[in-house]
Chain A
Amino acid sequence: QVQLQESGPGLVKPSGTLSLTCAVSGGSISSSNWWSWVRQSPGKGLEWIAEIYHDGGTNYNPSLTSRVTISVDKSKNQFSLRLTSVTAADTAVYYCARGWRYYGSGSVFDSWGQGTLVTVSS
């Protein structure tokens, strides 16, 4: 049973950079899965941010692409998120998730981390 665990600072200053890591255990990040970040602002719905494959292939949400970088570290079995120029609107619970897909489709998220709350505040 794969497990995902997010880690990173819970507080980021406005205009700063949010950096999170998702450690994958019980499975290989080099499997035929895509690995995503999804966020949820307080009391709001779910927003997909970005995804990465172990070969470095990436997809980004067009609404965030100018500020987001997703990366993978196969040696550590983990992937990371970097979001720059953050504002209060980026305050959210950030989840990492594993996705599977059919050829040509997007991902279905079948495993999620517990989520980590990141607050943007001075």
Chain B
Amino acid sequence: DIQMSQSPSSLSASVGDRVTITCRASQGISNYLAWFQQKPGKVPKLLIYDASTLQSGVPSRFSGTGSGTDFTLTISSLRPEDVATYYCQNYNSVPPLTFGGGTKVEIK
């Protein structure tokens, strides 16, 4: 199975800060990587797929980069409504589909 690891597991940043979350795959997955946002008590929401393609309706302050084993999700200017846990997901092959452990983003 391909393992997905995220870092950091949590972070605290100020409104307006640039925030970067890293996701690493245990083996190469090309660009078959998605990012999800899960606000407290809510359903996961697809933000980015194919490592860098923004899902329709997602604000442009979110961006994704990477290919192979190393990926990043960046929030260019953190807003209070971005408080959430962010998960990466590998869809290079199935089974299984695997998620990272999550990164909790809070406001300082």
Contacts and interface: CB of A to CB of B under 8 A. Distances in A.
Interface residues of A, number: 24
Contact of A106 (B43, B46, B94): B94
Given A106-B32, A112-B44, A63 B96 contact: yes
Contacts of A36: 97
Interface string B45-62: 110010000010000000
A82 to B, nearest CB: 17
Contacts of A113: 43
B99 A46 contact: yes
Contacts of A45: 87, 99-102
Interface stretch (A17-25, A54-62, A71-79, A84-92): A54-62
A38 to B, nearest CB: 8
Interface of A: 36, 45-48, 51, 59-63, 95, 101, 104-110, 112-115
Which 5 pairs across A and B sit closest by C-beta, in order of nearness?
A106-B91, A106-B94, A48-B97, A46-B99, A61-B96
